[in-house]
């Protein structure tokens, strides 16, 4: 599999984040030429430095995916700099606040939807247009979440946004199939260790809730106990599924959502 992505240009959004970086490492190791997009320039620089140590420095682009005009400019620049895109890992996201629906802050609900849904749409639209123009087909993986399938308590905005991503994946798969562009989603469950895991455990502990204990270690134990495999997933286990869906090994898969949740 060393060369599944030889000389293929793939854009990763949320490329400064944990899952984005793990995917960048995996795709680079298999020959891809990756470009990283993120709103956070410091995270991008750190991710690029790590990849450079592995022998392949990516180009990085600071961009807010909620800004449609900035996305249009940035995607055009990515292609100008690195050549036509044949892959997109549409992965930037925001976990939002933790509160039950009756107390959830409305402005944060809108922000979660703006980043996770409208932002993902902005990137998907611009990249798919460019793929159609280039006429070589392509593959897209959107990052949904088990939260989009299971309705986690105290996460009404995040769960809703990720359910929307599964819907967007299904429709985009149909709209883009005539152009030989496949669109699939991955739904990570509890992934750790890392920022989102720690934040989720702390936040669920701090919200008075009948579903979770009020102390982070106890919440972590409750979450792990709910997983049949009795452990959280590793970042490289997400990266390998993303690589599979982006590769020709998944050539007859489109419109699917792959749960990565330990059962």
Catalytic residues: 158
The binder of ligand NAD chosen from 5, 8, 9, 17 (CB under 6 A): 17
- Interface with ligand NAD in residues 30-49 (CB under 6 A): 38-40, 43
3-state secondary structure of 231: coil
Tell the smallest beta-carbon distance from residue 217 to ligand NAD (Å). Answer: 17
The helix (run of H) or strand (run of E) holding residue 55 is none
Site for ligand NAD in 182-201 (CB under 6 A): 188, 191, 194-197
Question: For residues 130 and 218, what is the distance between their CA atoms, to the nearest angstrom?
Answer: 48
Alpha helices, DSSP H, located in the chain: 18-29, 41-53, 68-82, 106-113, 120-134, 147-150, 156-176, 195-206, 216-225, 235-246
3-class DSSP state of 44: helix
Stretch that binds ligand NAD, among 15-23, 149-157, 174-182, 222-230 (CB under 6 A): 15-23
Locus of tokens 């854009």: 11
User: Judged by CB under 6 A, which of 94, 98, 109, 121 binds ligand NAD?
Assistant: 94
- The helix (H) or strand (E) run that includes residue 112 is helix 106-113
From 11, 26, 58, 93, residue interacting with ligand NAD (rule: CB under 6 A) = 93
Q: Which residue is nearest to ligand NAD (CB)?
A: 17
- Using the structure block, give the residue that is written with the tokens 């749409």: 121
Which chain residues interact with ligand NAD by CB under 6 A? 14, 16-20, 38-40, 43, 64-66, 91-94, 115, 119, 143, 145, 188, 191, 194-197
């Amino acid at each position: 599999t060393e060369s599944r992505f030889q000389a293929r240009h793939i854009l990763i959004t949320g490329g400064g984040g944990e899952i984005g970086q793990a995917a960048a490492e995996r795709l680079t190791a298999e020959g891809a030429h990756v470009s990283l997009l993120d709103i956070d320039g410091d995270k991008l620089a750190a991710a690029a430095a790590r990849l450079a140590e592995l022998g392949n420095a990516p180009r990085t682009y600071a961009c807010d995916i909620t800004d449609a005009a900035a996305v249009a400019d940035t995607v055009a620049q990515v292609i100008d700099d690195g050549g036509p895109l044949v892959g997109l890992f549409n992965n930037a996201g925001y976990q939002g606040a933790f509160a039950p629906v009756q107390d959830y802050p409305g402005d944060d609900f809108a922000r979660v939807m703006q980043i996770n849904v409208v932002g993902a749409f902005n990137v998907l639209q611009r990249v798919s247009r460019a793929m159609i123009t280039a006429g070589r087909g392509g593959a897209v993986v959107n990052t949904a979440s088990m939260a989009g399938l299971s309705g986690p308590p105290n996460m009404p905005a995040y769960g809703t946004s990720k359910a929307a991503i599964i819907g967007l994946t299904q429709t985009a798969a149909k709209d883009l199939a005539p152009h030989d562009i496949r669109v699939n989603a991955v739904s990570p469950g509890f992934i750790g260790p890392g920022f989102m895991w720690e934040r989720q455990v702390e936040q669920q502990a701090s919200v008075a809730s009948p579903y979770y204990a009020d102390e982070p270690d106890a919440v972590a134990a409750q979450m792990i106990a709910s997983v049949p495999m009795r452990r959280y997933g590793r970042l490289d286990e997400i990266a390998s599924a993303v690589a599979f869906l982006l590769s020709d090994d998944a050539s007859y898969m489109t419109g699917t959502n792959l749960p990565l949740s330990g059962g």
